[in-house]
Amino acid sequence: MTAEQLAEPLYEAPAAPAPESGRPPYAAALLSRLGPDEPGYQSRLGGALADAERLLRACTRDASDPRVRALTGHLAATGGKRMRPLLVLLAAEFGDPGSEGVARAAVVTELVHLASLYHDDVVDRAATRHGAPTANALWGNRVAAMGGNWLLARAARLSADLVPEALALNSLTANRIVAGQMRELTGPGPGEDALAHYVRVTAGKTAALLAMSLGVGAWQARASRAVADTLVEYGEQLGIAFQIADDLLDLLSPEASSGKEQGRDLLVGVPSLPVLLAREGTDPCDAELRELLAAGPAAGAGWHRRVLDLFSVSPATVRARALMHQRLARARTALATLPPLPARHTLDALCDFVALRTG
Q: Over the stretch 85-137, which tens digit does the pLDDT of each residue have?
A: 999 999 999 999 999 999 999 999 999 999 988 888 888 788 877 778 888 98
The pLDDT of residue 199 is 96
Burial of 323 (0-12, 13-18, 19+ CB in 10 A): middle
Q: Which residue has the higher pLDDT, 140 or 27?
A: 140
Q: Is 43 helix (H, G, I), strand (E, B) or coil?
A: helix
Note the pTM of the prediction, 2 decimals: 0.88
pLDDT, mean of residues 13-40: 62
C-alpha–C-alpha distance, residues 221 and 204, integer Å: 25
C-alpha–C-alpha distance, residues 103 and 108, integer Å: 9
CB-based contact 274:316 (threshold 8 Å): yes
Q: Is 11 helix (H, G, I), strand (E, B) or coil?
A: coil
CB-based contact 93:340 (threshold 8 Å): no
Say how many residues make up the chain. 359
Q: Which of 121, 347, 101, 118 is nearest to 239 (CA)?
A: 347
**Out of 62-66, 85-89, 209-213, 327-331, least confident range:** 62-66
What tens digit of pLDDT does each residue of 215-264 get? 999 999 999 999 999 999 999 999 999 999 999 999 998 876 766 678 88
3-state helix, strand, coil in the chain (%, to 5): 70, 0, 25
Residue-averaged pLDDT of the chain: 87
Q: pLDDT category, 8, cuts 50, 70, 90?
A: very low
Query: In sequence order, what E strands does 118-230 have?
Result: 128-129, 132-133
C-alpha–C-alpha distance, residues 227 and 8, integer Å: 32
Q: Which of 355, 353, 359, 358 is nearest to 81 (CA)?
A: 353
DSSP 203: I
Radius of gyration of the CA atoms of the chain, in A: 20
Q: Is 133 helix (H, G, I), strand (E, B) or coil?
A: strand
Query: What is the CB-side half-sphere exposure of residue 141 using CA atoms within 13 A?
Result: 7
What tens digit of pLDDT does each residue of 183-226 get? 988 999 899 999 999 999 999 989 999 999 999 999 999 999 99
